[in-house]
A = this chain, B = another copy of it.
Amino acid sequence: MARSKESPIEWRSECPISSGLDILGDKWSLLIVRDLITHGTRTYSEFSESPEKISTNILADRLKLLTALGIIERVDAERSARNNAFQLTKSGKDLRKVLEALGRWSYANMRDLHPDIVSID
């Protein structure tokens, strides 16, 4: 499959932190990655059932973008969409460290503002 050279992202600068946020700096993308890290694979409707309740148009949009960026992919790329789950690519799996760091920070620093926050392991 030929991959387009053109990037779907407008990079604000050459800083890797800035570029990471150009891709993942929104409220939903990393939650999709989180679901895939904790469950291995997820279908469209499984994503919809997560407690944060992403709306279907945003979900479709983010799945497309994360696929285009090579962060996620269909489990079976040849099969039809129905019941065909998504999974992380190597690049997507590498985000585990980012999510762990973020989860630890939240749990350690936001418990006074958000007492119901739950520990991750």
Q: Chain B residues near A25 (CB, 8 Å)?
A: 25-28, 30
> Which of A13-21, A40-48, A56-64 interfaces with chain B?
A13-21
A99 in contact with B30 (CB, 8 Å): no
Looking across the interface, which residue of chain B has its beta carbon closest to that of A7? B113
- Across-interface contacts of A39 in B (CB, < 8 A): none
> How many Å from the CB of A54 to the closest CB on chain B?
9
A16 near B103: Cβ-Cβ < 8 Å: yes
* Complexed CA–CA distance, A15 and B99 (Å): 11
**Known A21-B31, A23-B110, A26-B26: A95·B105 in contact at CB below 8 Å:** yes
Taken residue by residue from 69 to 105, chain A's Cβ proximity to chain B (1 for < 8 Å, 0 otherwise) reads as 1000000000000000000000100110111111111
Q: Most B CB atoms within 10 A — which of A11, A19, A27, A103?
A: A19
A37 to B26, CA, bound (A): 21
